[in-house]
Amino acid sequence: MRTIESILADIDQLKVELDILRQSLDNSTIKEALAVEFLYESNRIEGNTLTLRETQLVINEGMTISGKSMREHLEAINHKEAILFIDDLVYQKLDLSESILKQIHGIVLYGIDRENAGVYRKLPVAIAGSKHLPP
């Protein structure tokens, strides 16, 4: 039968090992992983076919993916740029305004849909499987 002292010693050793592992997962590493996953999921909802790994390669390595459209690449790149823009707004403690909202929309659609970038939509849209009708 193990003593409480040996169990506590094992716990202390496991805590040391956990602390070593935690050092390799700093906040920036976690934030970057979450950002890539957020971009991937957001674009996937809109029909983008880039995989999670492909999204990471496009936005962090500047790679182009064979068989994927320019639009899909731009959706990922623009989305990242919009998030960086929003991060900067938060850092500057700026209030959200209609003008800023339109700027964000313009960033998202840059090189994709010049006519509609930064302007309100003129046609109704629906979300498949939802009773909610977006404005």
Over residues 89-108, the pLDDT tens digits come to 999 999 999 999 999 999 99
CA dist 42 and 69 (Å) reads 17
CATH code, 71: 1.10.3290.10
Domain count, the chain: 1
CA dist 84 and 90 (Å) reads 10
pLDDT in tens, 22-47: 777 667 777 888 889 999 999 998 88
Dihedral angle sign, alpha carbons of residues 41, 46, 51, 56? negative
The pLDDT of 14-26, averaged and rounded, is 82
Query: Comparing C-alpha atoms, which of 54, 52, 112, 53 is closest to residue 81?
Result: 112
The verdict on residue 69 lying in a domain is yes
Dihedral angle sign, alpha carbons of residues 77, 71, 56, 49? positive
SS3 category, 131: coil
Residue 102: domain span: 4-108
